[in-house]
Structure 1
């Protein structure tokens, strides 16, 4: 049975992301102890150490144990991570047999769980205020979810069941993010939290034409935090309502992708890939894949009208 468009989009998309993650993991800084140090000597805080902030004590200790183990032999462990992630990507991109692809998916699930626990601290699930902008629930967790969907029998994709679950799951996700955005404990209603969130993205090393618009938006959110947080919360609520109601039209698809691109740029700074310290593209590209995987290129949802991809990689 041929794969549907949704399966192909998700498979090749995850394959490309895993391959690029492997290349990001091969950046020079990743092979040094500075990146993994618990108390780095420079002003740039370790990304892994920052992930322990706000975590429960047991999880922070577990993550710090992993950091110490990795820092003991950073070159060896990092080479292993690069090879593993590139191998997963190649399995998904050029795998000739279904068994070969499934093997890559199972390895990606195991490795994704390891990253989610030790590198992402459960994606902020147990932190003080998990939120969309920090990448909740973590890119690694979304990779795992994507792999699970690809392991579903083909009949669930052709019947539209997988697409319906994806759409409903995205709707629940947007609803949860709108709640987190609106909670007073998030701090986004005051003049500091929302502006600081965007300012952190603007402060990372990157071309000026990318950081300048973010800096302008920082001033807007600092002056009118209530207005802008209300707008952002409303956008998230509208997305939730549309996805949960089944009104996933072509216009919604394009607006969703526009929103994802904007928030990936202004909120996550493209995963920090220009900083030399980014190890993945953060959560939003995977959310974009989920959105596309639930869509039929013929003009409807895959749930309503399954389609197959006729162009195959040679």
Structure 2
């Protein structure tokens, strides 16, 4: 398979992942999510081992200051993540930010998936999202610039944009 075909397939994977994030973001804008945000964090804290209790109590005490703000911030971050994935905008920064955000969701909202609690049946989706972001970063880095991205359009006009957008920018700049 040639590089161009592989780059297009990776772009399709990125776009499909963006659709998933778009659906998730849409659900975060629902009033029910905003009303239940604090209780979701509280629920994730239940059943955690004592050595993790400080993390959940700290997060809960900060979120308690303005739960609506944190719920809306979550919706904004997920919406921007979806747009970035769909459009292929600032992919290097977006993949890293998405990975970090996914780990935060996995840790705080999903309680690390709770695999150590009785009756646990999975490890949560946040960790899987983090792995997909890492995979997209690695795949983009291996293949090079994405043909189906806003980044490619911007980079044609402003070459330095690749430093923000392309996971592989350093390698390609050295070759040029």
Following TM superposition, by how much is the alpha carbon of 1:257 offset from its aligned partner in structure 2, in angstroms? 1.1
Gaps of 5+ in 1: 1-153, 307-314
Aligned residue-pair number:
148
Q: Which residue of 1 aligns with 2:108?
A: 266
Gaps of 5+ in 2: 148-167, 169-176
- Change beyond 3 A, Cα 1:300–1:172: same
Q: Does 1:215 pair with 2:62?
A: no
Please point out which of 153, 164, 167 is paired with 2:14: 167
What SS does structure 2 have at the residue aligned with 1:251? helix
Alignment deviations for residues 116-141 of structure 1 (CA, whole Å, 9 cap, x no partner):
xxxxxxxxxxxxxxxxxxxxxxxxxx
What SS does structure 2 have at the residue aligned with 1:304? coil
Q: Which residues in structure 2 correspond to 1:122-201 (within 5 Å)?
A: 159-184=6-31, 187-190=32-35, 193-201=36-44
What SS does structure 2 have at the residue aligned with 1:239? helix
Following TM superposition, by how much is the alpha carbon of 1:270 offset from its aligned partner in structure 2, in angstroms? 1.3
Q: TM-score, normalised to structure 1's length?
A: 0.42
Alignment deviations for residues 66-114 of structure 1 (CA, whole Å, 9 cap, x no partner):
xxxxxxxxxxxxxxxxxxxxxxxxxxxxxxxxxxxxxxxxxxxxxxxxx
Following TM superposition, by how much is the alpha carbon of 1:183 offset from its aligned partner in structure 2, in angstroms? 1.0
Higher Cα Rg, which structure: 1
- Change beyond 3 A, Cα 1:302–1:227: same
Please point out which of 75, 99, 104 is paired with 1:257: 99
Q: TM-score, normalised to structure 2's length?
A: 0.71
Following TM superposition, by how much is the alpha carbon of 1:156 offset from its aligned partner in structure 2, in angstroms? 9.4
Following TM superposition, by how much is the alpha carbon of 1:188 offset from its aligned partner in structure 2, in angstroms? 2.9
Identify the structure with the greater helix proportion. 2
Q: What is the rounded CA distance, in whole Å, between the counterparts of 2:72 and 2:143 in structure 1? A: 30
8 Å CA contact retained: 2:84, 2:91: no
Q: Does 1:236 pair with 2:78?
A: yes
Alignment deviations for residues 222-246 of structure 1 (CA, whole Å, 9 cap, x no partner):
3412211111111111111211111
